[in-house]
Amino acid sequence: MSPQYALSLKQPWAALLVHGRKTIEVRRWPTARRGRILIHAARVPDDRPQAWSHLPAEWLETAQLLGGIIGAGDLIDCCTYHTLEAFQADQHRHLNDPSWFQAPLYGFSFTNLTVLPFRRYPGWVRFFVVDNVEKKE
Question: What are the domain boundaries of the chain?
Answer: 4-128
The pLDDT, as a whole number, for residue 31 is 98
Q: What is the mean pLDDT of the chain?
A: 95
Supply the pTM of this predicted model: 0.93
Mean pLDDT across 65-70: 98
Which fold does the domain 4-128 belong to in CATH? 2.30.130
pLDDT exceeds 80 at position 137:
no
What is residue 61's three-state secondary structure? Answer: helix
Closest-CA residue to 56 (of 95, 26, 12): 12
The pLDDT, as a whole number, for residue 2 is 79
The pLDDT, as a whole number, for residue 136 is 43
Rounded alpha-carbon distances, angstroms, from residue 40 to 97, 119, 132? 22, 9, 15
pLDDT tens by residue, 105-125 = 999 999 999 999 999 999 998
Mean pLDDT across 46-56: 95
